[in-house]
A and B are shown apart, each in its own frame.
Chain A
């Protein structure tokens, strides 16, 4: 009897273990006949099916398995997996993130076919390049017209406008220590105004900030929902908010905007180097550029860029001359300074 109970108890445990193992392995052992690429990306989640489908029109024999998350999470994941990389290709991650991965020797340099057609600023400087660009996203202001009218706020036209006292407590921007978009804002001001003037500008801007967010999209979403009238965000999110019905104007400050690009690279350690190269070749093709252009106003072959709804035609001229290398090298220093100035006195404004 006692023995029977023990057996039953043991049997339950074994069953449970088998079920878990079976389900676990079921999801790993399914192997299709065609080549599979694990592709890490920060591209908008709803665009992924479209990206894979377009690629498969030309290369039906390569299946893409996406791992998609925000820029920060994907970058952290890639770095943490360094000892045993799981990704074959990175397709659609910020160039500033790839600049972090490159010195660690995590990328396989490769010159995709047609590389020479890309604008020089849209590729890694080395030959062959460690990564190649896809498209740019550009800093922009989301300005809520409904709330502005209620509060009698004039529409800002420049970065310098934002430090006027009238905007006190009305601006949201991403925290550069949490968000790549926040960091590109800060580095753009330091490049535009010079280091000393740039920090002085941020000191003044800090007085007008209602709240700092942890995500680069959030400020525009919040502006769209009227939580705060002005969001420092980027053009892609702004256009999308507007399409969804947010009562916002999209402002490109007259001094020019900071920007970053989405880029593609092969991850060192891939067992599918041939397929990975095929994907990279395709990622700079005309067809791919047209695909990127459906969401982004400026693509890596800039003369192919077609205007996007709600965005100006001359986007390229709004983009500052951005020194990514300088920003990457000085990142820790800039963030420490930023945190020292604005992070520590982070009491919420009444």
Chain B
């Protein structure tokens, strides 16, 4: 068991802790790599233009979280605890935002609410460039992330609790507050931290639509890309890590009180139709679904018109990527290769890692450390991670430097970059399994891997598939993590979106972004078919 933790732990150490440590060490160095103590930090906190971003970032993150998490909870509730029609369709729709590159919401919001926007009247005269635009884009981007975690928390429920509540004549509202909500508590807390840290670290939306509203993530961009000041970039990165460490502490505290809901004697819960609730939820989900789809639809529209907003005749010209540069169609197939590899490798590593953290016995310090490392990537801006990879993997003394600029390093980086959500999804699923399964098999003298393979994996299979698809689509859409480490033969579609947007080929950027979207839709379709087949094969126990 220790050996297993060691192997996967080593992966996180080499692919995350060492590069990051090297990068953050730069915050204590001067421009000639000499040690300068806290001088950079003193300069940071004596420059209002820099430290004011902390307040801006917190404000944006709190606002986005306060909007996204309740919205996602209501949506997840509708999907799992009502008999609302079209639940499958609504789940698919809600996951659309993770299928698109992070630049797309920014582009689309300009088409919708910019000064030439199609429906800018809805903003009542406020400008889209700034906090409003950032929060809208972040709510769009983080919604499915929160939804996935909350869904996992709501997916399993013990019907006996509901039966008992009904027998005790509890009102539906009371059942909601005393059974449903506490049952999802852990998922809600996880979702809150995932949304909060994602927003704080995202630089895509603030860059495209934030105008001059300074946030920490764009400060990293300004320092590193604009001024090549790696030291100050490292200082801002350290400050960005603080929310992650807070998240970790709170997560530990809450987890201590977490009790498994699905005991070995549990009976799966199936909701019954309630006309009023089902209709209200249908209306709610329709509104959210339409908002999400309109972002995608307007991008497709923009990709097909000649010159928005002055010439709206339709054309395919923007799809001629080989003449637009940015890697052309070759970058597109590179992206697919990266996504397949990341999905396969990432799922195995993430799930095995989560299992060891949650179900292993003893070796508590090692497991706690592992869990901390698994939570960290969420809080690390992709730019920082990518830059750290250059310093670490390109060092002449590092025997791993043969990996630099290969597809392998892109896979390693992408798995690490998106480790946290996969880890949390796996943990949430695993935590709902009674430890009695392990106790019983231990008393039957079964080795741990047998329980893992025979019980844990089948029970958690839907979540495992969710992790695989999550890794795949993020590998298709990721930009900031890989922009520094791709090589001449490994250009990616998502990076070409960034570059085409930068050079003003916005319609082509939208077109390529939509290609990524359609690819992810196809992958997602395959995932659904596979999931249904697996559910049929392995999840019969969930039904009565």
Contacts and interface: CB of A to CB of B under 8 A. Distances in A.
A98 to B, nearest CB: 12
A215 interface: yes
A84 B408 CA distance: 19
Given A73-B484, A340-B49, A346-B212, A80 B391 contact: yes
Interface in B406-427: 406-409, 411
Contact of A240 (B49, B449, B504): B504
B29 interface: no
Given A13-B348, A84-B394, A227 B488 contact: no
A69 B326 CA distance: 9
Contacts of B504: 217-218, 220-221, 224, 237, 240-241
Given A24-B408, A344-B48, A247 B326 contact: no
Interface stretch (A39-47, A126-134, A197-205): A39-47
A38 B130 CA distance: 39
A244 B500 CA distance: 14
Contact of B213 (A221, A237, A348): A348
B227 interface: yes
Interface size class, chain A: 35 or more
Contacts of B341: 19-20, 23
B308 interface: yes
Given A76-B387, A214-B221, A227-B116, A348 B49 contact: no
Interface in A113-170: 146
A11 interface: no
Interface string A183-219: 0000000000000000000000000001111110110
Q: How large is the interface on B (under 10, 10 to 19, 20 to 34, 35 or more residues)?
A: 35 or more
A178 B6 CA distance: 42
Contact of A350 (B126, B327, B348, B407): B126
Contacts of A247: 310
A114 to B, nearest CB: 28
A313 interface: no
A333 interface: no
Nearest to B495: A69
A67 B488 contact: yes
B212 A175 contact: yes
Nearest to B447: A2
B127 A217 contact: no
B266 to A, nearest CB: 26
Contact of B406 (A5, A25, A66, A241): A25
Contact of A84 (B344, B395, B484, B495): B395
B226 interface: yes
A213 B213 CA distance: 10
Interface in A63-119: 65-70, 72-73, 75-77, 79-81, 83-84, 86, 100
B443 interface: no
Interface-centre pick from B127, B403, B495, B504 (highest chain A CB count, 10 A): B504
B502 A83 contact: no
Nearest to B311: A245
A92 to B, nearest CB: 13
Contacts of B353: none
Interface string B457-495: 000000000000000000000000001100111100001
Given A19-B344, A70-B225, 20 more contacts: A5-B449, A13-B348, A16-B345, A28-B405, A45-B503, A47-B325, A48-B325, A70-B499, A73-B225, A76-B228, A77-B484, A80-B391, A214-B218, A214-B221, A245-B306, A245-B310, A339-B47, A340-B48, A347-B213, A348-B213
State the 7 A-B residue pairs at the shortest beta-carbon distance, nearest first: A45-B325, A24-B408, A348-B130, A46-B325, A72-B225, A339-B49, A65-B488
Interface of A: 2, 5-6, 9, 12-13, 16, 19-21, 23-25, 27-28, 38, 44-48, 65-70, 72-73, 75-77, 79-81, 83-84, 86, 100, 146, 175, 177-179, 210-215, 217-218, 220-221, 224-228, 237, 240-241, 244-247, 331-332, 335-336, 339-340, 342-344, 346-350
